[in-house]
Structure 1
Amino acid sequence: MGELYLGVDAGNSKTAALVCTAAGEIVGYGRSGCGDIYGAPTSSDAVAEVAAAVGDALAGASVAMAGIAGAAFRLAGVDWPEDCAFWDTALREKYPTLRRRSILNDGYAAIRCGEPSGVGVAVIAGTAAAVAARGPGGAVWDLGWWPQHSMGAAGLAEEALKAVYLADLGLGSKTSLTEGLLEFFGRSSVFELNRWFTRREGAAPWQEKPRAARVVTAAAEAGDQVAQVIVREQGRRLAMYAGVAARKVGLADGPGKVSVVLSGSVLMAVESPVADALLAELDGHVPGVVPHRAVVPPVAGAALDALGESGIPVTPAVTDRIAATLPPKEFLAT
């Protein structure tokens, strides 16, 4: 089988891990819960979830960590230097035999999902949003806690709820989102909807809001003007932060092309109006942009990073092999 490589993508909804060969064949995989040190009940819980996914992936590949030649940990919540230091200590204690590894924010996992060189910008819109970039000289930058706008599925839902509440108060335009969200959440009135999300006891868990993103995109596609404004604004925000990322790592300094990879459930949905809105805005924020759709999920991008950082060329054949040997779709469902 030869040397094996490990890629880990940890987020709030799940943590996924893949073990692959140098040729890109996936030979083990594992999945667990929240691996974000900001989102898990405790940082120790996040470490345990990452370890659980890694353990299952190693077991599936019938290999111990000592047999892993290189690993890329792409972890939500690696936002500040102390976060990286925390994970460096945790992984060193957990896996003392691991020979080569890197630790970065999960946003970086998506770059190689559409740009094999790993140089470019990734724009991810899933439950939340992430933007990360790697420049030609190796400089990296990610959005972390810098965004001042709500984005991703959560952002779409929050803006839609705001529009519904304002319409109910007579301070905003009427919108089909009112009927759509009441039906989706099973509430009898806007009063009950607002109360359900904000009451002191028995309030809806935060995970409920992002689920309604599909209501917003469906309303926009059906012609609702309020929903269309929300979708266009989501595209503008994502494009704006992609521009910041490109400038931060030197991708905007010359006349060359700049790869921007789109990933995440909101942008990868069939005929996604948010993706269309983002693409319509990108030229104005990233000169020379060449957009790419991710061809593999972020955890596969992490595995490709593990290969690339170990000196193995990430060729189309390697990416194709990873894509062909991915776990079943339900493994990556959120």
Structure 2
Amino acid sequence: MSAPIAHGGGITAAAAAFGGKPEDWLDLSTGINPCPVDLPEIPARAWHRLPDRHLMDEARVAARNHYGSGEILPLPVPGTQSVIQLLPRLVRQGSKVVVTDDRVAVTDNRVAVVSPTYGEYARAFASAGFVVDAVGDIAAIGAEHRLAVVVNPNNPDGRAWPADVLLGLHDRMKAANGFLVVDEAFGDTDPTLSLAARAHELSNLVIFRSFGKFFGLAGLRLGFVIARDDILACFEDWLGPWAVSGPAQSLAASLLRSDVSAIRSRIDERCAGLHGALAAAGLRTAGGTALFSLVADARAGDIYTHLCRHHILVRKFDYAPDWLRFGLAPDPAADRRLGEALQRFER
């Protein structure tokens, strides 16, 4: 089993190492909207009863309209991490198994992940015995790959792939009897990048959408899968009954039906505040999305430690020691707190 990946959000561990109460830290280590939406009323029956089919149906219709997936009703899942771990099963469905001398070998076990990106994709496939090719460009994905993963826009550098490029990749994967997985976890801040509206035409496409990042409700552990019906049926079967709680589905149905323009405006305002704090400190932004900024600086390790001593947590990367990812602060006061801490850094 491969070692766990250190993700953002580890405030408890940071406080244990650098002091202070977790609640007093400023957590900029994730790409989550720091201004969670007001929660709509949740009917008491959603808490009292096992999640019934009508709750899922309502959430799926709301998700279809929000994501623009047309004929496809997106499947609610308990966070996209839950289905990332199921992807090896999807590929196994079409793999050829050869038995020789009482040994079982699975052929066609190579997958491609456009990298660097969210590390759980490579970990899930490597743990399942696949050969994982971390490719820097879509052009490097070939007929030998049973599945390709593209995070669009990408985490942590914000790299974005135009729809026509991804459509071409899908057709190449389909011709080789493979799948294309497009992770649109940060897609709500730029809907023009989404392939959701074309998904019903693309038989070998799987799209993952995150609910909690945009709405600021990551603790809800909710996501959606957009794909053809037989693929969605596989995921639903593998997850088992009642995978998504009734309250989560109720919230999704309400919030996905709401006007989200104010949420986008608030995120844009918070993004501008972060950019201002970074620019005032002389830090160069190397990429990002509306929900985070990636800074490239040779002093990244020292900056990280300095900020921790001021009880501000950002995201560092073991594979890129000159990178730091800064999430959004919740208000102008927090922007100033970050800016003042960065100004105190001894260059």
Q: Structure 1-normalised TM-score?
A: 0.30
The structure with higher relative contact order (CA 8 Å, sep 6+) is 2
Structure with more of its chain in helix, by fraction: 1
Q: Structure 2-normalised TM-score?
A: 0.29
